Amino acid sequence: MPKSRGRRSPRSEAARRPVTVTKGPRRSWRTRLGWPLCALGGVLFLLGNIGARSGMVFLPFDRHHVIAQFGGALIGIAGLIWATGPQRGRGKR
């Protein structure tokens, strides 16, 4: 006759230990600054593009919208490279 499911053998010692939660890898400062820089560059680029098409001036020193568009694109690309680039200088902790 098969063993009843109600009576089980005692668990092993490993199964009785509490589960410890391990934290994921820490994010570097480049990652933390990269995504906001990417968003800021995208917004600046869009403001420059919209301003060039509509004639509105968002930056008082940039009447031709060149600094807003190129600067926004450069800031966005730099932020994207920082956010997704390889993580350097991370040893075992």
36 occurs within a structural domain: no
38 vs 1 pLDDT, higher one = 38
pLDDT over 60 (residue 13) = no
80 vs 4 pLDDT, higher one = 80
Could you tell me what percentage of the chain is helix, strand and coil, using 3-state DSSP and rounding each to the nearest 5? 55, 0, 45
Parent domain of 51: 42-87
Quote the pTM value.
0.64
Distance CA 93, CA 91 (A): 6
Task: Return the pLDDT at 38.
Answer: 95
Over the stretch 17-32, which tens digit does the pLDDT of each residue have?
Answer: 677 777 767 778 888 8
**Count of structural domains, the chain:** 1
26 occurs within a structural domain: no
13 vs 80 pLDDT, higher one = 80
62 occurs within a structural domain: yes
23 occurs within a structural domain: no
Residue in 21, 17, 37 with CA at minimum distance from that of residue 29: 37
Instruction: Specify the amino acid at residue 38.
Output: C
